[in-house]
Chains A and B, each alone.
Chain A
Amino acid sequence: MSEKTLTPPPHTEPVVFTRDMLDWLPWLQPPTEEALTPRQKESLVDAARSKSDYFRLLARDPDILEARTRTDKDIFYNPQAGAPRADRELAAAATSRLNGCIYCASVHARHAAIYAKRADDVDKLLAQGVGADLDERWNAIVAASVALTAIPIDFGPEHIDRLRKAGLDELAIVDIINAASFFNWANRLMLSLGEPATQG
C-alpha cells in the first residue's frame, strides 16, 4: 500500500506575482512539531522554522536540509563586501519570476524592495517580467540571472562584462552567480512539494 499525497484545504490561489505575504500548503505530509527528532530540530537551524510545514517536510532528510539552509544564509546574509543585500535579493526575485515561483518571488521581492527602497522597480519586475527596464545595474543583474536560469544555460563573458561595467567587483559577481543559482534550487522545491495560497 503506497502513501498518498495531501489534498490542501479550500484556499484562494494567487494568480499574479505579488509582494504580499502568502501561505504555502504541502502536498506531502510533514512530520508534526511534536514528532521531530532532535536531529531534525537541529537541521532546521532556526528553531522558529518548526512552525513551517515547508521546513518540517524538508526535515525528513535532515542532513541535506541543514547543509542547504547554511548555504542559503551565507549567500544572502553574509554582509562582508560583495554585492549589497538588495542586489542578491533582486537576483533571487528575477530567477523566481522566470521560473514561475509565485511564492518565492513574493518573499524576495519584499526583501529587494525593502533593502533597496525601490518598491516601484520591484513591482515593475513582478508585473512585466524579466524584460522590465529598471536601471542599468539592475538590468545587468536580471539579465545575468535570466541567462543562468535558462536551460540550456546561456551565461557568457558578455554577462560578466556588463556586470563589471555596472560597478560589480569579483566578489559581487560571485554573489550574483550564487544567488541566481541558489534560487534554481529553492524554486524547484517550493513549486513541486506544495502550492501557494492567499492569506486571510
Chain B
Amino acid sequence: MTDVINALAGIQAGSALDKARDNRPEARKHAQASYEALFAPKEPGTFTLAERFAVATFVAGLHGRPETKAFYEENLAAAGASVELRVAIASEVFESHTHGPYGHYPAGPLSVENSDGLKYAVGTTARQVLGPRLTAAFEHTHMLVFHPRDAAPPSLQAMLDAGWSTTEIVTLSQLVSFLAFQIRVVAGLKVLNARPA
C-alpha cells in the first residue's frame, strides 16, 4: 500500500524530506501500519469499514485540511456510503467546526484556565441518516477532536447504550486519536517540504 503520509504531504520518493523520514524507519513503517490496522483491518468485525470512514471523514472535515479531507471523503464513497450519508456528514462538519483545544479542568488552581466552547449534538435531520451508533460516535468524536479534557464516563456510556462494545470503543478512540496525529504530521511535513533549507 502507498505510504499515506508521504502521499498526503506531497513528499516525492528520494527527496531530501523522504530521506529524512527514513532516519526514523520504525516510526514511518508503523505510522503506515497504524493506518492499515484501522482502515484495512484483517477483521473489521462489527465496526464496519463504512463506519470507520464515516468517522474519519467527519474528523478530517473538522480539521479542515484539504489534502486529508478529500482523501477520507473519497475512501468513504469507495466504501459504499450513500450520497445521503456523505451529505449529512458534510453538513455536520459545516455546523460544528470550531476552534480548540478548549475545556475544563478539575476544580482548583487550573479553573482560571477553563474555556468554554461548543458542546456538539448531532442535528435532527442528520440523526435519521446516521442512525444511533454513528450519532453517539460523532458526539464523542467531536469532544475528542476539540475538547478532550472534558472527557467523562457518560459519553462512553452513551456509546455503549447505542450498541458499541467496549472493544469497539477502544478501536474508535484509537481511530480518532490516530487521525489527530496523522493530520498534524501531514500538515507539518507539507509546510517543511515547501520550505527547503
Contacts and interface: CB of A to CB of B under 8 A. Distances in A.
Given A28-B166, A184-B181, A193-B173, 7 more contacts: A15-B110, A60-B167, A74-B25, A74-B27, A189-B173, A191-B151, A192-B155
A133 B182 CA distance: 29
B34 A68 contact: yes
Interface of B: 16-17, 20-21, 23-31, 33-34, 36-38, 41-42, 62-65, 99-101, 103, 105-110, 113, 140, 143-146, 148-149, 151, 153, 155-157, 160-161, 163, 165-167, 169-171, 173-178, 180-185, 187-189, 191-192, 194-195, 197
A160 B191 contact: yes
B100 to A, nearest CB: 5
Contact of B192 (A16, A27, A73, A160): A160
Given A16-B108, A75-B24, A177-B192, A155 B187 contact: yes
B31 A61 contact: no
A74 B26 contact: yes
B99 A161 contact: no
Nearest to B107: A15
Contact of A188 (B109, B161, B176, B183): B176
Contacts of A65: 174
Contacts of A33: none
Interface string A55-76: 0011011011111101101110
Interface stretch (A109-117, A135-143, A144-152): A144-152
Contacts of A171: 20, 23
25 contacts: A4-B160, A5-B156, A28-B156, A58-B174, A61-B167, A61-B170, A63-B33, A67-B31, A68-B34, A74-B24, A78-B27, A99-B149, A100-B149, A150-B101, A151-B101, A152-B63, A153-B183, A174-B21, A177-B184, A177-B188, A181-B188, A184-B177, A185-B178, A188-B144, A192-B144
Given A68-B34, A74-B27, A178 B148 contact: no
Interface residues of A, number: 71
Contact of A81 (B23, B30, B173): B23
A153 B145 CA distance: 12
A182 B26 contact: no
Given A71-B27, A174-B21, A151 B145 contact: yes
Given A15-B107, A64-B37, A80-B23, A148 B167 contact: no
A155 B63 CA distance: 13
Contacts of A178: 24, 27, 185
A129 B105 CA distance: 14
Contacts of A180: 184, 188
Contacts of B192: 160, 170, 173-174, 177
B101 A100 contact: yes
B106, B107, B143, B175 pick with most chain A CB within 10 angstroms: B106
Contact of A181 (B99, B148, B185): B185
A50 interface: no
* Closest A-B pairs by Cβ, 5 of them: A15-B108, A100-B149, A177-B188, A74-B26, A181-B184
A141 B37 CA distance: 31
A156 B157 CA distance: 39
Contact of A27 (B31, B146, B156, B189): B156
Contact of B100 (A78, A80, A150): A150
Interface string A155-175: 111011100100001110111
Contacts of A188: 144, 148, 173, 176-177, 180
Contacts of A177: 184-185, 188-189, 192
Interface in A84-121: 98-101
